[in-house]
Amino acid sequence: MENKLNNEDEKCDEIKDSASNAKVDESEKALDTEMKKMTVTETITENSESGSGEDGDEKFVHPVRILTEAEIAKLQKDVTCVSDFKQNKLEKEAQKNWDLFYKRNTTKFFKDRHWTKREFDELCPVEAETGRRTVLEVGCGVGNFIWPLLQEDQSMFFYACDFSPRAVQFVKDNPNYDPSRCSAFQCDITNDDLSGNVPQDSVMRPGGSLLFRDYGLYDYAMLRFAPGHKLSENFYVRQDGTRAYYFTTEKVLELAERCGFDRSQSQCEYVQRETVNKKEDLCVPRIFVQGKFLKPKSS
Ligand SMILES: C[S@@+](CC[C@H](N)C(=O)[O-])C[C@H]1O[C@@H](n2cnc3c(N)ncnc32)[C@H](O)[C@@H]1O
């Protein structure tokens, strides 16, 4: 399916997203310049079964993105991964590196995400429903996901966490921050216990949903990494030490299944945002993976 979308916020957001790499690396600087020029048209392509790698190599077949021969050759050549020593260092310093990212960029990097209700019905108000709906956002950054929703829907309450203390402080300092409607806290979701910050059973109750969105396989930014940035299959480090994993839908489904979500009740797909500059005949295919996982009512 292909339809036109005029969504300045998401477009700018994704352009800026790639621009983060550009600040510190020459090859990525070129990308920044290239993407800043892209202001003309944006199209969305959702899953279709038609995509294929041009050289017929199964490994590079993708449901929404057809790789060029040059892109396939680049991926095939980029086989050397960063040393174990550096990988361990990056793992240990993950929190510090994201915190430094927010020190450098403050609240100016990501734009408010006004598209979330369009992508996730679950975030829309339910007419017959009374009482408040509670959402926990993991990796909230400086709050760009929660601000539009807080303004539009009085019935929502947000818990929002991030492992960068600076990002959390930016959330709390934002004029939209209202402690009666949201609670931001610092935590490393891979290690910390949430119970001190999120009352038990207030999120992920039976009948609740897990909503997922992150970078997808063969996203434009993934194909732009220079050699020396690869950590493992589909996993890369940016020049500033922050890392990006480019998910396959299968990987996300597998992870969700491991956490007890029933595959038959799950939805997971690639979403393509194509930013086009007609004047320069340039097209930047951003790929995301988007998933919805339902916690059974009786478990
Ligand atoms: C790409 S940013 C997205 C920010 C925000 N969700 C938004 O939409 O603008 C990813 C965020 O995840 C946070 N993060 C990464 N690993 C984390 C972890 N283990 N625990 C909590 N937050 C984490 C980072 O600090 C960063 O703010």
Are 90 and 228 in contact by the 8 Å Cβ rule? The answer is no
Residue closest by Cα to atom 18 of ligand 1: 188
Pick from 29-43, 114-128, 250-264: least confident:
29-43
| pLDDT tier at 26, thresholds 50, 70, 90 | very low
Query: Which residue's CA is the nearest one to ligand 1's atom 10?
Result: 139
CB 199, CB 132: distance < 8 Å: no
Q: Which residue has the tokens 């829309």?
A: 124
pLDDT > 70 in the chain, percent: 79
- Among residues 214, 229, 211, the alpha carbon closest in space to that of 287 is found at 214
Distance from the CA of 168 to the center of ligand 1, in angstroms?
10
Asked if pLDDT for residue 150 goes beyond 60, the answer is: yes
Q: Is 298 in the pocket of ligand 1 (CB under 6 A)?
A: no
Contact 272, 286 (CB under 8 A): yes
Residues paired with residue 182 on neighbouring β-strands, in sequence order: 158
Q: What is the pTM of this model?
A: 0.83
Ligand 1 pocket, residue 177 CB under 6 Å = no
184-236, pLDDT tens digit by residue?
A: 999 999 999 999 999 988 898 898 999 999 999 999 999 999 999 999 999 99
pLDDT tier for residue 18 given thresholds of 50, 70 and 90: very low
Model confidence at 115: pLDDT above 50: yes
The pLDDT assigned to 1 comes to: 32
CA of 4 to the centre of ligand 1 (A): 29
What's the rounded Cα separation, in Å, for the pair 47 and 70? 23
- Domains of the chain in start order, with CATH, are 70-93+204-298 (3.40.50.150), 106-203 (3.40.50.150)
Q: Residue 52's pLDDT is what?
A: 42
Task: Write down the pLDDT at residue 47.
Answer: 53
pLDDT-derived band at 144 (thresholds 50, 70, 90) equals: very high
Q: 214 by DSSP, 3-state: which?
A: strand
DSSP state of 188: -
Q: Which residues contact 18 (CB under 8 A, 6 or more apart)?
A: 28, 31, 32, 35, 220, 221, 224, 284, 286
Among protein residues, the one with the nearest Cα to ligand 1's atom 4 is 141
Confidence of residue 139 (pLDDT cuts 50, 70, 90): very high
**Can you read off the two tokens belonging to residue 62?**
């993708």
**Does any ligand 1 atom lie closer than 6 A to the CB of residue 145?**
yes
Tell me how far the alpha carbon of residue 167 lies from the centroid of ligand 1, in angstroms.
9
Distance 137 CA to ligand 1 centre (A): 9
From the CA of 113, give the closest atom in ligand 1.
Answer: 8
- State residue 94's pLDDT score: 98
Do residues 160 and 143 touch, judged by C-beta distance below 8 A?
yes
For atom 11 of ligand 1, the residue with the nearest CA is 139
**Of all residues in the chain, what percent carry a pLDDT higher than 90?**
66
Contact of 148 with 114, CB cutoff 8 Å = yes
Mean pLDDT of 55-61: 74
Question: Is the Cβ atom of 98 under 6 angstroms away from ligand 1?
Answer: yes
Find out whether 175 and 107 touch, Cβ atoms under 8 Å. Answer: no
| CB 212 near ligand 1, within 6 Å | no
Number of other CB atoms surrounding residue 228 within 10 Å: 12
Higher pLDDT, 5 or 231: 231
pLDDT number for residue 281: 81
Per-residue pLDDT tens digits for 230-257: 999 999 999 999 999 999 999 999 999 9
Residue nearest to ligand 1 atom 23, measured at CA:
139
Whether 162 and 194 have beta carbons less than 8 Å apart is answered as no
Closest CA to 110 of 77, 74, 147: 147
Identify the residue whose C-alpha is closest to ligand 1 atom 13.
139
Of 160 and 59, the one with more pLDDT: 160
Confidence of residue 131 (pLDDT cuts 50, 70, 90): confident
Q: Give distance in angstroms: CA of 76 to centre of ligand 1.
A: 30
Residue 23 has pLDDT above 80, yes or no: no
For all residues of the chain together, what is the average pLDDT? 83
